Amino acid sequence: MSKPKHPRVLADTEAQAVLSNIRISPRKLNLVAGLIRNRGAADAVATLTFSKRRIAQDVKKVLQSAIANAENNHQLDVDRLVVTRAEVGKSIVMRRFHARGRGRSARIEKWFSHIKIVVAERAPVAAPENSAQEAA
């Protein structure tokens, strides 16, 4: 006898990817995650490709993993994927000490983070038609 299968938390039109213990503070990682929230998957990949932030390449790998999960594991259409959630959480904090003057010390904190990216398949949005062309 084994344990029952864990029920799926996400909807049938969603897929996710998670990266744990990234060596960057959650505040800095959340700035990069904010760049891709509520964007199309292809647009989000392009945004991360040309971002100047160091961590953008790691976030891009997680996003590409979520897209691959959607395509291979859940048979979703890649062209209709949208980044619905990009959640950033705190992980461990390594504490180090830095020698200061007069025999004192100062604490240095090295923050780690988690990121979870959820992509969902959305229906294509109809392009707004130009009313000026209809009037002519």
Tell me the average pLDDT of the chain.
93
Say how far apart CA 136 and CA 134 lie, in whole Å: 6
DSSP type of residue 9: -
| Surface-to-core class of residue 123, CB atoms within 10 Å of its CB (0-12 exposed, 13-18 middle, 19+ buried) | exposed
φ, ψ of residue 17 in degrees (nearest 5): -145, 145
pLDDT for 1? 75
For residue 53, the one-letter residue type is R
pLDDT for 78? 96
Is the pLDDT at 130 greater than 80, yes or no?
no
pLDDT digits (tens, 9 = 90+) for 57-96: 999 999 999 999 999 999 999 999 999 999 999 999 999 9
Residues ≥6 apart with Cβ < 8 Å to 43: none
Domains and CATH numbers, the chain: 14-123 (3.90.470.10)
Query: What is this structure's pTM?
Result: 0.86
